[in-house]
């Protein structure tokens, strides 16, 4: 296949996933400029190694795996905290609870009436999740990857993926319940949830 034809095939397969890649990059970096750089580097790396991609397989999973590897190589310490929290030191549950409570208090103070749409509440609640939970919730519930695909992407056992997803969903439900009850000054009950899953 000549280079022009290969590039056309590459763009037809990869371009539909750019928005999803940017969303995942934001989850990893929490910074729009860094996320854009990460997407660009992923696109370039994918083009460079497109000859290794097996057509007919899950292209989005392949791209997300490339992105994760670039992120791990670029900022190893931050990447380990996001993707492999069991390999780094975490604060105890009280620190997690205090951090979440302080975030909720700030958001409750500026939230005002219930004019915010539900989607914005979900985005805010996702932002409050510990990184390792947020990544798995986004990969499974927003991007639709299977447990095995996520385990492969994150290089961790499927049981770890399932545990993080369960804990992340539980915490997300509590945070969303707090938003629903914001007028009554209810705060999420996050006791018993640990970032180490």
pLDDT at 13 over 80: yes
Q: Would the CA dihedral through 116, 119, 124, 125 be positive or negative?
A: positive
Average pLDDT estimate for 49-63: 90
pLDDT band at 94 (very low <50, low <70, confident <90, very high): very low
State the pLDDT at residue 119: 67
pLDDT at 190 over 60: no
Q: What percent of the chain has pLDDT over 70?
A: 67
CA distance linking residue 74 with residue 136, whole number of Å:
20
The single residue listed with the structure tokens 């993707």 is: 83
In 3D, which of 4, 2, 22, 3 has the Cα closest to residue 63? 22
Phi, psi of 122 (to 5 degrees): -65, -45
> Is pTM beyond 0.85 here?
no
The single residue listed with the structure tokens 């986004």 is: 138
State the pLDDT at residue 82: 67
**Domain residue spans of the chain:** 3-74, 86-184
pLDDT at 187 over 90: no
CATH number of 3-74: 1.10.1740.10
Average pLDDT estimate for 61-80: 84
One of 1.10.3720.10, 1.10.10.10, 2.40.40.20, 3.40.190.10 is the CATH number of 86-184, namely: 1.10.10.10
State the pLDDT at residue 106: 45
CA distance linking residue 163 with residue 141, whole number of Å:
14
pLDDT at 118 over 90: no
The residues near 98 (Cβ < 8 Å, ≥ 6 apart) are none
């Amino acid at each position: 296949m000549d280079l022009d034809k290969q590039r056309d095939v590459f763009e037809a397969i990869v371009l539909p996933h750019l928005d999803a890649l940017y969303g995942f990059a934001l989850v990893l970096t929490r910074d729009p400029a860094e996320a854009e750089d990460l997407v660009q580097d992923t696109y370039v790396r994918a083009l460079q190694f497109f000859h290794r991609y097996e057509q007919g397989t899950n292209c989005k999973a392949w791209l997300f795996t490339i992105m994760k590897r670039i992120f791990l190589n670029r900022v190893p310490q931050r990447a380990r905290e996001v993707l492999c929290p069991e390999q780094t030191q975490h604060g105890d549950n009280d620190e997690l609870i205090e951090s979440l409570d302080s975030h909720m208090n700030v958001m409750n103070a500026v939230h005002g009436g219930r004019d915010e749409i539900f989607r914005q509440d979900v985005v805010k609640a996702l932002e409050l999740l510990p990184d390792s939970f947020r990544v798995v919730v986004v990969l499974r519930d927003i991007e639709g990857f299977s447990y095995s695909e996520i385990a492969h992407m994150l290089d961790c056992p499927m049981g770890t993926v399932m545990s993080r997803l369960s804990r992340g969903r539980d915490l997300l439900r509590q945070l969303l319940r707090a938003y629903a009850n914001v007028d009554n000054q209810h705060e999420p009950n996050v006791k018993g949830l640990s970032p180490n899953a």
